[in-house]
Amino acid sequence: MPIDAAQPYDDTNIFARILRGEIPSKKVYEDDHVLAFHDINPQATLHILVIPKGPYVSWDDFSTKASDAEIAGFIRGVGHVAREAGLVEPGYRLLANIGPHGGQEVPHLHVHIFGGEPLGRMIA
Ligand code: AMP
């Protein structure tokens, strides 16, 4: 069920629970600003999610309210994860779903990293 990108943050969402260690994830990387883990239902050979550690519902919420340090940390974290996964030379795709038209289902900002194979058209 797509969520409203402007809704208040709900700290019972599944990614908040992963951040608190209440449910497991296949962790790829973690630093002060981000956590990266494998998507539970991969849509490509490699499908990693990167989330900021702060309580932000969506790209809209994050780009409005996050500090410069959080924004820089998140962007650098996404780049770091892709680099460490060996995706720079073959190439990869980033995707953030926002709100109902974007099909966002989890109300904690996340960027999808897809790679490991040619990814085809941008929108099927
Ligand atoms: P979105 O539609 O952009 O909100 O994507 C949510 C993504 O989270 C989907 O690709 C799901 O497969 C993924 N997902 C949901 N629950 C988990 C979980 N417990 N661990 C890892 N990925 C998850």
Residue 107 contacts by C-beta under 8 Å, 6 or more apart in sequence?
3, 7, 9, 10, 13, 57, 58
Task: State pLDDT tens for residues 2-32.
Answer: 889 889 999 999 999 999 999 999 999 999 9
Q: Which of 41, 20, 13, 17 is nearest to 107 (CA)?
A: 13
Residue 32 in any domain: the answer is: yes
Question: Is ligand 1 within 6 A of the CB of residue 71?
Answer: no
Which residue type is seen at 66?
A
The average pLDDT across 98-116 equals 97
Cβ–Cβ under 8 Å, residues 92 and 115 = yes
- Is position 108 annotated as part of the catalytic site? no
What would the pLDDT profile of 64-93 be if each residue is shown by its tens digit? 999 999 999 999 999 999 999 999 999 999
**Does 7 fall in a domain?**
no
Cα-only R_g, the chain:
14
24 found inside a domain: yes
Whether residue 9 lies inside any domain: the answer is no
Which CATH number belongs to the domain containing residue 23 in this structure?
3.30.428.10
Q: Is the CB of 105 under 6 A from ligand 1?
A: yes
Classify residue 120: in a domain, yes or no.
no
Domain that holds residue 106: 14-115
Is 51 inside any structural domain?
yes
Give the total number of structural domains in the chain.
Answer: 1
Does residue 103 line the site of ligand 1, with CB under 6 A?
yes
| 0.85 exceeded by pTM | yes
